[in-house]
Chain A
């Protein structure tokens, strides 16, 4: 099989992809296990591995508290934005509100609005949402909302109306209907909306700078960035901190990757 020159070319390309995308990450992992003195003398080669960097990073950057903060912020904001997205999308998809298309268009505009950090800062101070956990979560619900509504509206439109009549109209409460019937049928959309919300909070490095002041409230992205600022040349410690912070994210990514593919497969079988 490998004698075919096109396949060899393909394997070479695949190898190049691995190098391009994995090497920078693997390099950071390698540095995380090196002694600072070895890194200074030969930064390109691995030395005898040590784990002491992880201890320094853990205590120096207060990673434990910050990882919990990040988990609380991202999961709460993404969950709220997904649930609110469903609560908006259902009446629109079922055309139960007057001017449903105008309401939908208003939401779509939100996809194009920039993250207005300046007025949000002013609003946060005005509404008492500045520099506290609840406020930080509330301020991060909206960015994921428009996409959640657009995705869920498309999915709900595909659910047959007969199901509404069979369950909801016969006395199952609205919320019961949403959780027992609509949510299982829109799982791929809910999952994508949730992951998109998570990624939004995770990638927001400006929000923690502008909306939080108390270091004990910082998410881990701000914490690790500050750690970098105050330990500019302590690369082995920083690399260890990078590995610690990346680990839960990579695990979540690996798990949801499988889940997403499985949903795709079942979706295509059903469709």
Chain B
């Protein structure tokens, strides 16, 4: 019975987790279109080399948009979450209500959150348009090149800040109160407390939050799909892969798979050294105190 259960579980994992990952790499070397009757040929590395040429002009701009998105979301989400965690770490009722509120966007989910923000930034009838219009600011917002990417970044931060906040609160609460008490006896000021106790001891939570934000925003596409469909400078690599495969203009699953493989490798190349760096930082902060 135990073996049957184990094999069933591992079978599902192999069939729908590992096999598609391998198939992704295989498809990336073909011109697969999923159209019935269309021939599938080995095209070598052409899906990869074409990314760097004018044949695929969307790739480089998608790479830039991805980097901007990842950096802005990682910094913004963690800065907001640190502030929120500092205020909401308490055991009182207000803090508990606050924690529920910051988590609400996660429960509402990507589609609902996206539609609410589209409503708010509707260029003709939305409240943001009439509010900003009072200051002489008029724009198509999600439909404008200048606004779309910053707004998508803001929505992503709003959507996920609650998750990082809860991890920071966990980190803050894990700090032994006796350390603060001992510091109080020694007459350590509030800046010193932050600098020498809270910040070094919060380092593991910072590591987790930065890695989650980086990996999560690298591979993100569902929020962008709802908000802009990748238009107006918001086409990140994840969105590009989807549009290349299933978009209205082409059905090139081979190229889409190649973009996904590049995105995966890029995520690993960034995430693994970053993890090592953050782990080093945890030890350094603690010893250099």
Q: Which of A43, A142, A175, A233 is B17 in contact with, Cβ under 8 Å?
A: A142
**In the complex the two chains form, what is the Cα distance from A228 to B34 in whole Å?**
29
The listed residue with most B CB atoms (<10 A of its CB), out of A110, A112, A203, is A203
Chain A CB within 8 A of B20 CB = yes
By secondary structure, the B interface counts as helix
User: Which residues of A, 207-253, contact B by the 8 Å Cβ criterion?
Assistant: 209-210, 221, 224-225, 228, 233, 235, 238-239, 242, 245-246, 249-250, 252-253
**In the complex the two chains form, what is the Cα distance from A164 to B130 in whole Å?**
66
Which chain B residues lie closer than 8 Å to A205 at the CB level? 110-111, 222, 225-226
Which chain B residues lie closer than 8 Å to A158 at the CB level? none
When the two chains form their complex, are residues B112 and A245 in contact, meaning their CB atoms are under 8 A apart? Answer: yes
**In the complex the two chains form, what is the Cα distance from A25 to B119 in whole Å?**
11
**In the complex the two chains form, what is the Cα distance from A113 to B238 in whole Å?**
13
Which chain B residues lie closer than 8 Å to A11 at the CB level? 94
Q: Which of B88, B117, B215 is A17 in contact with, Cβ under 8 Å?
A: B88
When the two chains form their complex, are residues A87 and B104 in contact, meaning their CB atoms are under 8 A apart? Answer: no
| Stretch from B8-16, B49-57, B144-152, B280-288 contacting the other chain | B8-16
When the two chains form their complex, are residues A246 and B222 in contact, meaning their CB atoms are under 8 A apart? Answer: no
Q: How far is the CB of B110 from chain A (nearest CB, A)?
A: 5
0/1 per residue, A52-93, Cβ < 8 Å to B?
Answer: 000000000000000000000000000000001101101100
When the two chains form their complex, are residues A14 and B87 in contact, meaning their CB atoms are under 8 A apart? Answer: yes
**In the complex the two chains form, what is the Cα distance from A13 to B117 in whole Å?**
23
When the two chains form their complex, are residues B119 and A239 in contact, meaning their CB atoms are under 8 A apart? Answer: yes
User: Which residues of A, 2-22, contact B by the 8 Å Cβ criterion?
Assistant: 10-11, 13-14, 17-18, 20-22
| Stretch from B59-67, B178-186, B198-206, B255-263 contacting the other chain | B255-263
Counting residue pairs across A and B whose Cβ atoms lie within 8 Å, the total is 210
| Interface size class of chain B, counting residues whose CB lies under 8 Å from the partner chain | 35 or more
User: Which residues of B, 1-36, contact A by the 8 Å Cβ criterion?
Assistant: 1-2, 5-6, 8-10, 12-13, 15-21, 23-24, 27, 32, 34
Chain B CB within 8 A of A119 CB = yes
Which chain A residues lie closer than 8 Å to B104 at the CB level? 21-22, 25, 250, 253
When the two chains form their complex, are residues B9 and A122 in contact, meaning their CB atoms are under 8 A apart? Answer: no
Give me 13 other A-B pairs in contact (C-beta within 8 A), A84-B12, A103-B10 excluded.
A13-B83, A17-B98, A21-B158, A90-B5, A114-B260, A114-B267, A116-B24, A122-B253, A138-B16, A146-B17, A224-B115, A235-B122, A252-B107
| 3 residue pairs, one from A and one from B, having the closest CB atoms | A87-B5, A119-B23, A142-B16
Interface residues of B (CB under 8 A from A): 1-2, 5-6, 8-10, 12-13, 15-21, 23-24, 27, 32, 34, 83-84, 87-88, 94-95, 98, 100-112, 115-120, 122, 124-127, 130-131, 158, 162, 215, 219, 221-222, 225-226, 238, 241-242, 245-246, 253, 256-257, 260, 263-264, 267-268
